[in-house]
Amino acid sequence: MENMFSHSALYCLSGAGQCAPTRKREGDLHQHGSGPGVGSPQPSPGKLTYTAGYKSIWAFRPVCQNQTGQSCVFTERLTNFGLYTFKVRAEFEGRTSQWVNTSEFHIDRDTLIGAPKVSLSSKAGNIRVDIQDPVTRVPDGLRRLYSSVCYNIMYWEESETEKPTLLECQQQISLVLSELKPKVRYCVQAQVSVPSYHKVSNYSAVTCETTTVGRAETWLIVVVMMSSLFIVVVTVTLLFLAVWYGYKGIKFMFPKAKLPEDLKQFLIDPPRCDLFLAMQNSSQPEEKCHEVCIVSELTEGAETEGTPL
């Protein structure tokens, strides 16, 4: 926060031998700071110097002494909630003017607030608005000076000239603008507001962003979710069955059960049974054949014959 006091013109009374500078001051909290300031001063002739200072409830304190410049900075000298009177006098060739006093200056009440900075981003058919406080020389100068700060946000379609939509006194520095038309360019401006002091800043520069395609319909989301769930369940079931039957097959092919030792020994050792050995060593028996005669009855008058087969 920068506090500056400037004096502009010099008026001399030759008879009295005194010169009285005029003065002007205003508060300004913006990108360069805040505090008393002035417009364009007029140049002064000769080796004219100035001495400027401020007076609080305690005493007068000079800050800039015998300087030729027509401005004086009080940045590190004043408190945020102080009440001050600024004084300046001119010196010329050993002569000095009378002190010229400003009216009482309340830092918190008389300070002007600069415009905030706005950035936009579009996602899922909405626009996200991010607001940054005015930059000051003192970190968080705005928050230190005012305990209650909110924002007035104004947005509209770039192609339309109708009255914009206004969101008053939003506490968040980030918020989402919803219910916007898809693929439409919207413009946004923001303004700092301090309700306790009835103070507002200038609006920020116009910032525009194009919305993206909005979200899908609810029924479509439900259908996609149910289909995905069904696919997952079927896939998991098939994987489980494949693993289970594979395990059963491996277990069948390679059983873990062990045969008793006596049975294993019996199967390994050659057979010792005499009957079994006799059956293995015996020759094939000879086959015996017998003749068989088939007799059939003939018709009457025919000769009965028997023919061996």
Percent of the chain whose pLDDT exceeds 70: 72
6, burial (CB in 10 Å: exposed 0-12, middle 13-18, buried 19+): buried
According to CATH, the superfamily of the domain at 117-210 is: Immunoglobulins (2.60.40.10)
Q: What is the mean pLDDT of residues 284-292?
A: 74
Confidence of residue 27 (pLDDT cuts 50, 70, 90): very low
Q: 279 or 125, which is more confident? A: 125
> What phi, psi does 123 have (nearest 5°)?
-160, 130
Confidence of residue 280 (pLDDT cuts 50, 70, 90): low
Round the average pLDDT of the chain to a whole number and report it.
76
Whole-model pTM: value is 0.51
211, burial (CB in 10 Å: exposed 0-12, middle 13-18, buried 19+): buried
Query: HEC states along 21-76?
Result: EEEECCECEECCECCECCCCCCCCCCCEEEEEEEECCCCEEEEEEEECCCEEECCC
Domain 4-110 class, CATH top level: mainly beta
Q: 49 or 46, which is more confident? A: 49
Instruction: Retrieve residue 27's tokens.
Output: 């508060």
Domain chopping of the chain, boundaries: 4-110, 117-210, 217-282
Instruction: Retrieve residue 158's tokens.
Output: 């770039």
For residues 178 and 212, give the distance between their C-alpha atoms in angstroms, rounded to a whole number. Answer: 12
H or E element: which one contains 237? helix 218-253
How confident is the model over 115-155, as pLDDT tens digits? 999 999 998 889 999 999 888 766 777 887 788 899 999 99
Same fold, 4-110 and 117-210: yes
| Cβ atoms within 10 Å of 250's Cβ, excluding its own | 10
Confidence of residue 7 (pLDDT cuts 50, 70, 90): very low
How confident is the model over 223-256, as pLDDT tens digits? 888 999 999 999 999 999 999 988 888 877 777 7
For residues 43 and 66, give the distance between their C-alpha atoms in angstroms, rounded to a whole number. Answer: 16
